[in-house]
Amino acid sequence: MNLTKNQTSAFQTWNDSFLLNIEIIDKQHKKFFEIFDEILLLSKNGDTTSKLLEVIEDLQNYAHYHFQTEEVLMANANSPDSELHIIQHEFFIKKMKEFRIAYNYNNSVLLNQIVVFMRKWLLMHIYEVDGKYVESVKKYLAENEFQIEQY
């Protein structure tokens, strides 16, 4: 999927253009957007209290769960470019750790940094990176039963 200028500038929250039509992944992506909505609300309200740390922890925890789901599906489906995909997941986890450190040092622009990072991540990762495994994962799921613990 290629992004249009309208998609990048109007992006604030979940919409159906993010659907990959893989139910388990779409549900998990929606959860990421719910967390992002919390971040946007904190940003709008200028809130830098302990709620920010809670949101960073939610992102970290949920990312581990979601990335595990994607990585198992990609491995089972022999998806192309899965190694590069996993490297991006590792980058996300590293970035969340950096945000936690920045929080501990009372970084005054941290909330804005998180908003910018998450906006770019959700757009590029879902549209560009996740889009590469859709065909192989759909084929795998059509032929196999797949279950994962619900978060």
Residue 142: predicted pLDDT: 93
Per the prediction, the chain carries an average pLDDT of 87
Instruction: Tabulate helix, strand, coil % of the chain (nearest 5).
Output: 75, 0, 25
Tens digits of residue pLDDT in 66-102: 999 999 999 999 999 999 999 999 999 999 999 999 9
Residue showing tokens 């491995």: 75
**48 CB-near residues (< 8 Å, 6+ apart):** 42, 108, 110, 111
For the entire predicted model, the pTM comes to: 0.85
Number of Cβ atoms within 10 Å of the Cβ of 102: 16
Residue 6: predicted pLDDT: 40
- As assigned by CATH, the class of the 23-142 domain is mainly alpha
Tens digits of residue pLDDT in 109-134: 999 999 999 999 998 899 889 999 99
**CA quadruple 132, 136, 126, 51: dihedral sign:** negative
Tens digits of residue pLDDT in 31-74: 999 999 999 888 888 766 778 899 999 999 999 999 999 999 99
Average pLDDT value for residue range 19-40: 93
Residue 8: predicted pLDDT: 37
Give the span between the Cα atoms of 19 and 33, in whole angstroms. 12
Asked if pLDDT for residue 14 goes beyond 80, the answer is yes
Residue 108: predicted pLDDT: 85
**23-45 vs 50-76: helix crossing angle, rounded to 10:** 160
